[in-house]
Structure 1
């Protein structure tokens, strides 16, 4: 089990781990996904913001909030704010890495990452107002793929 500098939101029943440098927009993306899920009719909830713990379990990776930040999200200029829709943990199904410049097309092998022994789909996004919609689109594609396997 280890704490990582990341945020995590659940879409449907799938955890989405959002990683990036300080100020890269992790909390903003979480807030955007919570809002987009609400208007799209998709269950969304905060797992943890800024720091989450990752625990391998039965070949899967489970994210949980850091105890000091459970139920809170940082909003720049307002500080830590409570979030109503939270869950205590989620099985990770997707990793989103926020970078200043994301490649237009993913490099060979870059669409999967191994974290603590678990292989997870990965996407790299740059600051973009539509990135929450991009994450939602990728999540929906993953759900379709999981149903057909």
Structure 2
């Protein structure tokens, strides 16, 4: 027995909203990986510190906040609907659950557990005398950004696949 929470026509809309939010952050993290990370490799320690501090301050804005929270909330609601309606055996259900798991683990958990603590540390650095291990931090930050970018892109593609499967 399934609990029909939403009309069948609303499910593709909910999945599209999930893909929208996840896709925006996939694009952000991908663009960062293929441009900003490469530029940051060319900077001196003090320039790296100044730029990273500036980026980390600038990204804390309303638009990013709405998209970041939306990219957590909407896919979580989508996965909850799949579970509550018993749709995990449908064509789209497993895709939604997989896409959400990959996104929340590979993108959000990485951001919260790796990037935020590093950003908080970088915020304390003095541009005049960054720590001796600043290149290690830069390399680690970049590596984990690649991980979250890949996870977000994979999740986005999975959500698109889920949408297509609801239309057939």
Task: Tell me the TM-score normalized by structure 1.
Answer: 0.24
More helix by share: 2
Higher strand share: 1
- Greater relative contact order (CA < 8 Å, ≥ 6 in sequence): 2
Q: TM-score, normalised by structure 2?
A: 0.22
